[in-house]
Chain A
């Protein structure tokens, strides 16, 4: 009696309809369309022509595609390696109650307020080898001619640097909030046991931040698959293909070369890699059964 009454009160399938419809129209249908387009030749004009698996065969011969996957992974790794320790340190520091920390943190968070395009354009101007900061300060980091974005190796590091500058504040915010959640009693008992600040960090703070590290890493890794506009504006994938990540390769094939069929192959590839990566992360990190780490609290 009660259960049936409850069931009557529970939202029916109809309630899920708007969301499901949205997902169908903007999620499933485009993916299906892209899979179809990957089997055609189409330049955006006229009607797509069915060519079977030709585009997929072309993928095997496209050295740039493999290269761009490698660049994507390298950039992800670089960003993760720089961002995680940096934002954790700033976040834990900013979690302290001191007034000066609050003021400085506010300044650190400023990049969060800027749009990606604005950040990329500002850095593009700063990295100009003749008229930017790169001209004046390049010598200090061993690049007297300011050639940051034009050198194949430095270009990738520069891109990683700009992306880091943009996203560290966001991850700092996550770490700051998480650190403030750690109960004081843990630190008090650690202090009673004779643990100094450094020991407290490694024995209390770090274990308590485990889930935060995972969450922040997931965001970095998944986000890195979509780094696009910063790179487009900073280097356009260049010089040559030195900073051409997979999304940019897809864009160049589709919207510069107007080979929509082959660009769709790359889009499907991107969907597959993204799905694979998120399944992998969820499985290996135990993200899906994340629980409290605070024994007895």
Chain B
């Protein structure tokens, strides 16, 4: 009894001693075996599938955005390329918001995609500076028909330091003022031509309980479109060029202050309704409000046209989707034909990958090919190809296509979306401060003070 109390576990210990040693040896052996097996497995897997090579030949990776409009077109182009090529292309798609992070992380690693989607400008530049992007200069000079096929104003956005680092993969995307014809007809209104017209419309629609301009303010890039257009209307494209060129004091330009004030006044006047800061674009909330006639107008990129066609087919077929240019400012210095938006999206090729050659060949063969361009046009886009308007005849979207083509063709300046043109860190500050400005949390002066400090 006593002994047990003092050494309660002694007997068990002694017995376990012998078995324990044996068991430990066995455990150790088992662990060692497992470890070796795992190592062998890993090496075998690596030997069988070095990066870029799957079973049955080489594969080059293509990264793009999840997008019901362009994804099938890119996939079809890859399928047809894969039929004849020994190196096959494989498409992976990502959601818009997550994509930039995913790309940045992978571009810093050895597992970067061979072809990657980008917006050109400030979005592409850091990768070029880090030496991660292959120049397409040689391939283009070998294929002058490809080089000369694209609109130079669009190619320019993917040209950095005089070298071409990307080719346009889809339509030009100017920002367009859409309006709901049914709502306008019901209240006997005409689409606005000048900023004053727009103010009159805002007041008129407000009294009828219709949101004058639907604004998905949870995503600040939709607010940015107003500022981009207004700064150009007030002061011309040079004002933003100065900022994009790195001149931080250019934020303090009186034209910028006036444009910011106009944005804030429009929000205060109720131009966007009272709850715009809760409205979302990605969940199609804004598009639905507009299609249902709860909102009269919608300032959005040209992609909204196909978006409406796919997500709001009844409204789209009713023929009530109207489109026009952004209003002019009677006392503004900017050319009323100037436009803003995304010149296009681009595919760029990673430098130093083992599939650079195949990836480049795919781009050169595909992007200006008749099949590719035709499928872009039939999806309602205007490809950045010279003379592409010859393909519009007979298309059900001919009206819209011609409108977009003329808009881009006649524009003296096509300013790239600021959040794509500026560096990511400045763009992120810009979007945050813009939300505050639209909510009147800060004044235009506080906005420019904050932006001047951003780097």
Chain A residues close to B by CB (< 8 Å): 2, 9, 43-46, 61, 64, 125, 127-131, 134, 145-152, 235-241, 252-253, 255-259
Contacts and interface: CB of A to CB of B under 8 A. Distances in A.
Contacts of A258: 104, 126, 424-425
B337 interface: no
Contacts of B107: 44-45
Contact of A145 (B275, B428, B441): B275
Interface string B422-439: 001101110011011001
Contacts of A255: 101, 104
B101 A239 contact: no
Interface stretch (B249-257, B283-291, B300-308, B407-415): B283-291
Given A45-B107, A146-B278, A147-B274, A130 B126 contact: no
B217 to A, nearest CB: 6
Given A130-B294, A240-B441, A45 B277 contact: no
B11 interface: no
Contacts of A236: 218
A241 B289 contact: no
A21 B107 CA distance: 30
A125 B218 CA distance: 13
A146 B441 contact: no
A193 B101 CA distance: 66
Given A61-B453, A241-B436, A147 B277 contact: yes
A171 B89 CA distance: 51
Nearest to A262: B425
B130 interface: yes
Contact of A45 (B130, B279, B436, B441): B130
Given A44-B105, A240-B436, A257 B429 contact: yes
A186 B131 CA distance: 74
In the complex, the 6 A-B pairs of residues with the closest C-beta atoms, listed nearest first = A150-B277, A150-B278, A257-B425, A147-B275, A240-B436, A45-B130
A148 B275 CA distance: 8
B428 A150 contact: no
B41 interface: no
B354 interface: no
Nearest to B112: A45
B428 A252 contact: yes
A256 B430 CA distance: 12
18 contacts: A9-B13, A46-B108, A128-B283, A129-B278, A145-B275, A147-B275, A149-B218, A149-B277, A150-B278, A151-B277, A235-B218, A238-B277, A238-B432, A239-B435, A239-B439, A240-B441, A252-B428, A258-B104
A257 B424 contact: yes
A256 B7 contact: no
B316 interface: no
B102 to A, nearest CB: 10
Contacts of B433: 240
In the complex, which range does the number of interface residues on chain B fall in? Answer: 35 or more
Contacts of B320: none
Interface in B110-152: 126-127, 130-132
Interface centre among A130, A241, A253 (most CB of B within 10 A): A130
Nearest to A254: B101
A59 B101 CA distance: 23
Given A45-B107, A127-B278, A256-B424, A238 B435 contact: yes
B276 interface: yes
Contact of B439 (A45, A152, A235, A252): A152
B82 interface: no
Contacts of A129: 275, 278-279
B280 interface: yes
Contacts of A253: 425, 428
Given A131-B285, A149-B218, A256-B424, A44 B108 contact: yes
Contacts of B131: 46
A150 B436 contact: no
A148 B274 CA distance: 11
Nearest to B130: A45
Contact of B425 (A61, A146, A259): A259
Nearest to A149: B278
B285 A128 contact: yes
A2 to B, nearest CB: 7
Given A147-B278, A240-B441, 5 more contacts: A130-B275, A149-B218, A237-B432, A238-B435, A256-B424
Nearest to A125: B283
Residue from B127, B280, B289 whose CB has the most chain A CB atoms within 10 Å: B280
Contacts of A238: 218, 220, 277, 432, 435
Contact of B278 (A128, A240, A257): A128
B279 to A, nearest CB: 7
Given A45-B108, A61-B453, A147-B277, A152 B127 contact: no
Nearest to A258: B424
Contacts of A44: 104-105, 107-108
A130 B439 contact: no
A14 to B, nearest CB: 12
A250 to B, nearest CB: 13
Interface string B92-105: 00000000110011
A46 B127 CA distance: 9
Nearest to A235: B218
Given A44-B104, A257-B425, A150 B7 contact: no
Contacts of A257: 424-425, 427-429
A64 B433 CA distance: 11
B288 A131 contact: yes
A129 B217 CA distance: 12
Nearest to A236: B218
A58 to B, nearest CB: 9
A148 B278 contact: yes
* Most central of A45, A134, A152, A241 by chain B CB within 10 Å: A45
B275 A150 contact: yes
A297 to B, nearest CB: 25
A241 B274 CA distance: 19
Contacts of A237: 432
A248 to B, nearest CB: 11
Nearest to A244: B432
A168 to B, nearest CB: 25
Contacts of B453: 61
B435 A128 contact: no
A80 to B, nearest CB: 27
Given A45-B126, A240-B432, A257-B428, A146 B288 contact: no
